[in-house]
Amino acid sequence: MMDKLLKTNIKIVTRLLFEGIVKPTELVNLSLKKIAEEKHFNAFITVTSKEAKFLAEKCEKRYLEKKPVSDLDGVPIAIKDNFCTENIKTTCASKMLENFVPAYNATVCQRLLDAGAVLVGKTNLDQFAMGSATIDSSHGPTKNIWKFDNENFYIAGGSSGGSAVAVATGTCFAAIGSDTGGSTRNPASYCGLVGLKPTYGLVSRLGLIPLVNSMDVPGILARTVDDVVSVLNVIAGYDEKDSTSRSKPFRKIRLPPASKMSIKGLKIGIPVEYNCEYLSQEVADTWNDIATMLKNEGAIVKQVSMPNTEYSIVCYSILNQCEVASNMARYDGIEYGFRADEDSSTEKLYATNRKIGFNEVVKSRILCGNYFLLTRNYDKYFTKALKTRRLISNDFDNVWDEVSLLLTPTTLTEAPLYKDYLQKANHYKLNEDYCTQAANMAGIPAVSVPIKLSKNGLPLSVQLMGKNLSEPVLLAVAKYIENIVKFPHFQYET
C-alpha cells in the first residue's frame, strides 16, 4: 500500500491519516525517499528534509488528538522556487539569487503551513520564470516523466516544470507554480496534470518574486481536480498586505461527485481563432472530441469569435518585456543578490553583477523592455500594446454574454523533445503559449485538464476558461470531463 500511497488523492490520504492507518511522519519520509529516488528528473532545487520532518511530527500530534487543522494537514506539497520561504533559500533558479534567504513566507506558503501542509522542497523553473520549458535554469533542465530517456528526454514545460514533475513523479500531492502567460497550465498539459490559473487577485501575490506584476498569479498543479480544489480553498482569499488582492470574501468550493453533476443547458464556446496555424492535428482532434462529448452530455456548444486573439502573442511579449525591465532593475548586487569582485566604480560593479548574475534570456528581455520604453518608442510599442490588451480583454467581456465557459486547447502540440526544442526554440517560445496567455492579460481563471495520450504516448489536454471568479463552475466542468475521460496518470516507467 505504501508504494501506491503517494499516487492517491488528498481526500483519501487525509482519511488514512485521521484513521491512524498511516502516520504523517511515515508519509513525509516516503515522500523524501521518493524525491531522492527521482532526482534524475531534476524537479527540485532545494529539498527541505529537516523542516519537513519537523512539521510532520507536529502533524502527528494533532492527528493523535483527532484535531487536524484542515484537509491538507500532513500532506506533502512543493513550492516553486520563486516564492519566498522563511529561512529557506529562494533562488529563482538564478545565480543572482543563489544564496538569497528570505526573512518571511509568501502568503501562499504561509497559508499552506498554517493549514498543516508539509513543505518537502522548492522546485526548479526557468530563471526568474522566464521561459516555457524549464530548461533555462542555473540548475539544469527538468525532464518530463513520460517516455523518459535520460539522454533523449521530452521537456516538462515551463516555467513551472519543476512543480509539474514533482507532482507527476508522486513525490508530493500538489505543488504551487506561478502563471504569467500559461506557466502553470503549459507544464500541466505536457506532464498530464490538472493546472489551475485562478482569477487575478483571488490568491495573494505577496512573496511571489515578480516577473510581470499585472499578469502574475500563483497557480496550482495536482493530479485531480478535487486536489486542486483542496489547495485553492486554503490559499485563496483577501490579503491586506497585497494591494492587488480582491477584497470580496472567498467562499470555499465544494464540488459534488461527478456522477451527480449535470451540464445540460450549459453554454460553452469554441473560439474559432484558437484553431491556429501551428495547432497539431492530434490536439485539434482532442479538442473536437471533447466538444462533441460535452454536446452529447447536454451542453450547448457553439462557435464564438475572439477577433483580437491573433495579436495576443505580440502584445503579451511587449508588455512582458517592459515589466521585466522594470522588475529586474532592483537586482544590482548591492542590497542583496550576487556581487562580483569588482572595485573600479559603482557603475562597473552594477554592470558586472548583472552580466554574471543573469542568463542570456533574462538579459535579452531587459534589453528589449528598455528599448520599448525609450521615449521615442513608448507610444509606438508600450502604449499600443496596452490598448491591444484592452481589446483582448473586451473580447472576453463580450463573449460572456453568449456563453458561460470557453473550451480551447492548452498547448498547440504534445511535449517536444529537448533537442527539437533547442533547434526550434524561437518557434516554441512564440507559439506554445498562444492559447494560454490571453487569460492572463484579461485576468480570468483558466484550467488545463489532461484528456488522453497521443499516438506517441504523451499527454494531450484541453483548457477551460471562464469569467472572473467563476472557479466553482470552471472546476465543476473540469471534474465532469475528468470523470468521463479517466486519463491514465500512471502509465509510465521510471
Q: Among this protein's residues, is 138 annotated catalytic?
A: no
User: Residues, the chain, total?
Assistant: 494
Cell 530517456 locates to 149
Determine which one of 94, 137, 160, 183 is catalytic. 183
CB-CB contact of 447 with 186 (8 Å)? no
* Distance, CA of 183 to CA of 394 (rounded, Å): 23
Q: Among this protein's residues, is 159 annotated catalytic?
A: yes
Per DSSP, the three-state class of 243 is coil
Which alpha helices (DSSP H) does 220-311 contain, by range?
225-235, 281-296
Cα angle: 480, vertex 162, 59; to 5 degrees: 75
Beta strands in 14-88 (DSSP E): 44-47, 76-80
Beta strands 267-271 and 459-466, pairing class: unpaired
Per DSSP, the three-state class of 10 is helix
Determine which one of 137, 159, 230, 461 is catalytic. 159
Query: What is the DSSP annotation of 96-110?
Result: GGTT---SS--HHHH
* Distance, CA of 139 to CA of 154 (rounded, Å): 17
Cβ neighbours of residue 429 under 8 Å, at least 6 residues apart? 131, 132
Beta strands in 358-445 (DSSP E): 405-409
Determine which one of 80, 429, 467, 479 is catalytic. 80
Cell numbers describing residue 307: 477577433
Distance of CA 216 to the CA centre of its chain: 10
Q: Among this protein's residues, is 344 annotated catalytic?
A: no
Cell numbers describing residue 449: 485538464
Catalytic residues: 80, 159, 183
